[in-house]
Structure 1
Amino acid sequence: MFDRSTRISLVDADDAILANRAADGDIRAFEVIIRRHSPLMKAYARKILGSSDEVDDVVQDTFVTAWQQLAALEEMVAMRSWLMKIVSRKSIDRIRARRQHADADDHDTPAPENTGPSQRAEASSREKALSNVLAGLPHQQRQCWVLKHVADYSYDEIAAELDLPVSTVRGLLSRARKNVIQGMEGWR
């Protein structure tokens, strides 16, 4: 049984220690991880999703996935960025699921004349191409791009989120934009 001093030491432990203990099955260590990182993850998911309706579900799904895959995490010191990567993917998956469920029968408004089947197919192909280009970006470039262009973060917010200097964020975004433009060259 853990006593109060064990709980205090867990609260003060760094992420690597908590992750190692949680990977070994220590539920209390994982609870500390949840308490420590939930606020940031909720704020991030809310920015991506645009509302708070699904935020708790996304964060909960993230922690379930993290618990299941924690033993596979190679760098335990990277716990925070690993969790943020998972919450980012799960948030984007929710957005994609919304689009897939948006059915023509759900709306009474007539479709504009310029959105026929060929235009929708082209838009879908363009979206898939962009997803492929983004998937090919280096991790930090992709994070910066998503935070800037999907979550509408400022440079300062991105720097704070990723714990990077603003100048590094600007450079990563510049390279990300260049890579996206090159990758989407066929869609100009």
Structure 2
Amino acid sequence: MAGWATRRDARSTPSADQPGPATPQPTDEALARRAGLGDRDAFAVIVTRYGPALYRFVSRVLDEPADAEDALQETFIDAWKGLSGFRGDAALQTWLFTLARRRCYAHLKRFPRSGSRPHVNLDDVTDRIPARDADPAGLQLGQDLVAALDTALRTLPPRQRSVWILRQIEDFTYADIATVMAISPDAVRGLLERARATLAITLKEWR
């Protein structure tokens, strides 16, 4: 019996060289529930989990990096205040993007865009650009294409740009985009088609 117990313990107890089982990550629903009850650690996980994607979105909708940072901060303030009433009618990610969209559009109403070309960083969409040969000429073409896409996106009206970003960069479904934008899925399709048509014309030299 003692020998059997020894063998069983050896099998069930991880050795120092073997990693133990990974700690399961809390679900969005659990985090939202805990944060809604005032758990700041749970809210910090939400910020870490969705902050980068939200910043990608607001930084492409708004003209200036400082405005995007303000919108992101305001979005998370709204989230912290609103999580106590969050009932999960939409996914947490969708709800957060809805808050971000509202903040961006409120800012655009208060501060209309100037005619100057704003700064934008599109590094995160380069993987969606057709591949180029890894040579100096190809790399230069790739950089030029990113710059061209940068300019083309800035020509789109805010709603078209928002829908394009949510679909092409964040890979949202049409239903989730409709929720974020507070429009119908058919309206999403229409905005996306117009955005793609405009970008196709603007970037026709790259086709």
* TM-score w.r.t. length of structure 2: 0.49
* Whole-Å separation in 1 of the counterparts to 2:161 and 2:89: 28
1:108-147 superposed Cα distances (whole Å, 9 cap, x missing partner): xxxxxxxxxxxxxxxxxxxxxxxxxxxxxxxxxxxxxx87
Aligned residues with identical type, % of pairs: 21
Q: Which secondary structure does the structure 2 equivalent of 1:55 belong to?
A: helix
Distance 1:79 1:147 in 2: 23
Aligned Cα RMSD in Å? Answer: 3.6
Q: Is the 8 A contact 2:159 2:191 kept in 1?
A: no
**Higher relative helix content:** 1
Matched residue type, 1:18: L
**Aligned-pair CA distance for 1:51:** 3.0
Give the drift of 1:76: 7.1
Q: What pairs up with 1:1-188 in 2 under 5 angstroms?
A: 12-75=25-88, 78-99=91-112, 149-151=160-162, 153=164, 158=167, 161-164=170-173, 173-174=188-189
Q: Which runs of structure 1 show a deviation greater than 4 angstroms over 4 or more consecutive aligned residues?
A: 168-172
What amino acid is the match of 2:78?
T
Amino acid at match of 1:158: R
Cα separation, 2, equivalents of 1:151 and 1:14: 27
| CA distance, structure 1, for counterparts of residue 106 and residue 170 of structure 2 | 21
Deviations 1:66-91 (A, max 9, x none): 11111111117611100100000101
The number of equivalent residue pairs is 123
- TM-score (normalizing by structure 1): 0.54
Partner Cα separation in structure 2 for residue 21 and residue 76 of structure 1: 17
> How many angstroms apart in 1 are the aligned matches of 2:164 and 2:64?
15
Distance 1:53 1:12 in 2: 32
Larger radius of gyration: 2
